[in-house]
Amino acid sequence: MAKKILRMALTLIISLVLVFFIVKAMPGDPVQTLTQQYMTTDKLPYEQAYERAKVALNYDPEVPVMEQFLTYINQLLHGDMGQSMSYKDSVVNIVLGALPWTLLVCSISLLLSFAVGNIVGLFIAWKRSRLWDGIMSGYQAVFGSIPDYIVAYLLVVIFSISLGLFPARGAYSSETVPGWNLDFILDVMYHAALPVLCYFLTTVASWVMGMKAICVGLLGEDYMNYARARGLSRKRILFTYLGRNAMLPQITSLAITFGLLFGGSPVIENLFVYPGVGFYLNSAISRRDYPLMQGMFLMIIIMVLISGLVADALNKWLNPRLREKR
């Protein structure tokens, strides 16, 4: 475990370095953009507008990149991610405010798709139904080839614009008072319905096909034939012998999928104007808000690394044969 944590820390450090320099190498300069804006709206000369833009953004592009990098690392060591250029707030506050919304949507949608997908995949393999197998293969072919943001757009058009059943944007209504009360919780779930449905529709088929493939391989194992020879009930064979063993690789994949889903949220959250990590990351990229970009990328990297660590721990806990000898 110590070696894994050390590898995880090394991966984090390398990722931080790469993210910092890649972000800095992106085309577009926020200072120059704001300078042009000041020159147009306030009729200022270039030099005066340029100095005003640097003060407004609290960023000087003339400072050497290595010096900026050392300052950034020093801030991180002190728990400071800097201040957002566009939101004029601490990046830490923005990250902590956005994280619960992404965790809410990703957790609910992933658990739903995992539960439904594995149950359906188990029964398709058990019944050996060509009809359902063909249906799910077609479903996977369609939703596996359509980008998730297209599915999100279609959901907005159908359920928000055409039918008016669900809100198309936001995490909760402006009339609702935030807090741990029933009205707020129901309103949050109501606004999260379409993002959750989008993630569910685009991920459930992979769980179905994965579970079916695992179960088909296990049905011919000796212990399955022995269970049938003993005259055990179908229910016990299905859930205890087949389902339990097939779930082992699926559960460990769950943690990895969560990390990937967490990192793949920017486009969907931006389309639903859902104030999660992906929404702020997309906003930071479009505005070249370097501190906010680095903070959101850091959060995504940490979540992916933690998910991998959890997946490894789950794999060893569920499968004793993989536990290290002490």
Running DSSP on this structure, what letter comes out for residue 232? -
Mean pLDDT, range 128-156, rounded to an integer: 82
Q: What is the pLDDT of residues 43-65, one digit of tens each?
A: 888 888 888 888 888 888 888 88
Q: What is the pLDDT of residues 165-221, one digit of tens each?
A: 999 888 888 888 888 888 899 999 999 999 999 889 888 888 888 888 888 888 877
| Tokens representing residue 64 in the block | 């050497």
Residues 6+ positions from 277 with CB-CB distance below 8 Å: 95, 98, 99, 101, 102, 262, 265, 266, 269, 296, 299, 300
Q: Which fold has domain 92-322?
A: MetI-like fold (1.10.3720)
- Contact of 120 with 200, CB cutoff 8 Å: no
Q: What is the pLDDT of residues 226-278, one digit of tens each?
A: 888 888 888 888 877 788 888 878 887 887 787 777 766 677 888 888 888 88
Selection from 238, 298, 273, 241 nearest residue 91 by Cα:
298
More confident residue, 294 or 5: 294
Q: Coil, helix or strand for 60?
A: coil
CA distance 64 to 42: 30
Mean pLDDT, range 2-17, rounded to an integer: 85
pLDDT over 60 at 326, yes or no: no
The pLDDT score that the predictor gives to residue 227 is: 80
CA distance 61 to 28: 11
- Helices 182-218 and 148-155 pack at an angle, to 10 degrees, of 140
* Domain residue ranges in the chain: 2-77, 92-322
The pLDDT score that the predictor gives to residue 1 is: 65
User: Among residues of the chain, what percentage have pLDDT more than 70?
Assistant: 96
3-state SS string for 105-173: HHHHHHHHHHHHHHHHHHHHHHHCCHHHHHHHHHHHHHHHHCCHHHHHHHHHHHHHHHCCCCCCCCCCC
| Tokens representing residue 283 in the block | 């906003």
- Contact of 201 with 149, CB cutoff 8 Å: no
| Tokens representing residue 295 in the block | 């903070």
Supply angle C-alpha 288, 289, 294, rounded to 5. 110
The pLDDT score that the predictor gives to residue 318 is: 66
